Amino acid sequence: MTAVFDRSQRHYKSAKAEFRRECEDLHAECWLCFEPINYSLPSGHPESFSVDHAKTVKDHPELGDDPANFRPSHLLCNQRRGDDEPHIDIGEPSEDW
């Protein structure tokens, strides 16, 4: 039987709220674009805080409410990523190899 992840569960909402507080206290940046997150923006704003999942909920529903799988992101970055693996740009190589 496949695990089902339900975002309306009290446990998930509580874990998500705690993670947001921790990220705000640390001034955590978006793990996808590495830009600062404005934690005072209202939910739904493209640059507001959003909980992303390092391992997608689609592929790993059993990790959907696991805070160890949470990552801070902008809402828009999270939406653009969707169910895909994250594209992390590490920049240009320092020399030809």
Tell me the pLDDT tens digit for each residue of 6-47.
666 788 899 999 999 999 999 999 999 999 999 999 999 999
H/E run at residue 74? strand 70-74
Per-chain mean pLDDT for the chain: 88
- Cβ density class 14-46: b for 16+ within 10 Å, e for less: ebbeebbeebeeeebebbbbeeebeeeeeeeee
pTM: 0.79
Residue of 11 and 5 predicted with greater confidence? 11
pLDDT digits (tens, 9 = 90+) for 43-88: 999 999 999 999 999 999 999 889 999 999 999 999 998 777 776 6
List helix spans (H) across the chain: 10-26, 75-81
